[in-house]
Amino acid sequence: MLKFPQGFLWGSSTSAPQSEGRVEGDGKGENIWDYWYEIEPEKFHNEIGPEKTSGFYKNYKEDIELLEQTGHNVFRTSIQWARLFPKGTGDINPDGVAFYEDVFKRVKEKGIELIVNLYHFDMPLELQKMGGWESKETVYAYENYARTCFELFGEYVDSWVTFNEPIVHVECGYLYQFHYPMKVDAKAAAQVAYYTQLASSMAVKACHEVDANYRISIILNLTPAYPRSEHPADQKAARVAELFQAKSFLDPSVKGEYPEELVSILKEHDLLPEYTEEELAIIRENTVDFLGVNYYQPLRVKAPQYQWNPESPFLPEYYYEPHDMPGKKMNPYRGWEIYEKGVYDLAMTIKEDYGNIEWILTENGMGVEGEAQYREDGMIQDDYRIEYIQGHLRELHRAIEDGANCHGYLLWTFIDCWSWLNAYKNRYGLVELDLETEKRTIKKSGHWFKELSENNGF
């Protein structure tokens, strides 16, 4: 049996915009997802928008009971900025305060450790109208929002998170058009990335000012980049891919400074953001207490086959292109490679290059389309999900044996949730959600996860 260290955390992660939904009179302001769905519903799978989600706002009492029934000793969720501050700044929504307070109290009463994230791609619409993360005013608005959360809810929250996967809103919103505002503008992307990092560092500072004992993290989707070959051009492609994808937030968040090679590349392409020395000092002096790591798939790259068209807008793929490695193991539903050893490689990188900072695997999971086909006797028999988790846990256990400072494993996700443009196309939950009736039914993996948690291993 693989046993994990005493006190190891077992649970799941979700986000407020993907789980809460909306009810009439809840006081929540619009965010960019609400707005984008209103103007272009056809972009969303089956035209299911963010007002639906998994109904946590109405059903949270039942859902917290289900956390206990699936063996959680930790739960990570988020606060919707626009639920607390409907316009991003100004007046606070008392219904939002009361909702989060009751949720957090109930989770704590179950003896479940609570990790709360402050931003999960859900920019308040009123702030987006003023430039969103392209504007320094948003940085100050975020710092005020974060400080308010620390003051309102700090007594219930065990650990705070500044941002979930900040590279995603940079890439998807400002390079690849998967998130609103759907720009293709590398200069804006660099400014957005910088202001997001500055906001994160300012939130770390505010958190420790409110209470020096509070612990705060950032959650990064660290995708190890593997080169096609040993050829120097392929090796460089992988190195630069990691600079953009991982180190652009990992280094300033943990080390307090940006990688020199990344700065040189941005300078070479005239992409350096506006910044001040005072801001760089804030980033340098306010690093995170621990790290959250999301891992789903590796990034396989090779040197570009063709020269970049000088008339084309800059993208990171100037330096690399995807490598479709033959024979890889795939999740056919999500189109993602399953590569368990990536967990071990990430763990060793954190150990050797980042001072072996304490970290938690905060997301890992398998999205499957058409799960109803696996229902027998009223329960989804998702053995594939159990095998997926076991495979990754074997590599995580090996990493811990080799000195990795990892303290927990959180699955994405607790209950089937709404997933941005994909809506409910792929299901990830330990608990099945019937979209029509909102009935919740624990899957085979949910019962297995309880055993995993109780045994502290498998």
Tell me the H-state helices in 117-273.
125-129, 136-153, 166-174, 186-210, 232-242, 248-254, 260-268
What element of type H or E holds 19? helix 16-19
Q: CA-to-CA distance for 374 and 383, rounded, in angstroms?
A: 9
| Catalytic site includes residue 358 | no
Q: CA-to-CA distance for 144 and 41, rounded, in angstroms?
A: 32
Angle at 295 between CA 291 and CA 298, to 5 degrees: 130
The catalytically annotated residue of 30, 165, 171, 432 is: 165
| Catalytic site includes residue 337 | no
- Long-range pairs for 180-188 at CB < 8 Å and ≥24 separation? 180/32, 180/33, 180/35, 180/36, 180/128, 181/32, 181/128, 181/132, 184/313, 185/313, 186/269, 186/271, 186/313, 186/314, 186/315, 187/270, 187/271, 188/134
The catalytically annotated residue of 30, 363, 371, 395 is: 363
* 46 Cβ contact list (under 8 Å, min separation 6): 423, 424, 425
Q: CA-to-CA distance for 191 and 422, rounded, in angstroms?
A: 28
List Cα–Cα distances, 362 to 9, 117, 219, 296, in angstroms.
10, 11, 7, 11
Q: Is 276 exposed, middle or buried (0-12, 13-18, 19+ CB in 10 A)?
A: exposed
Write out the catalytic residue numbers: 165, 363
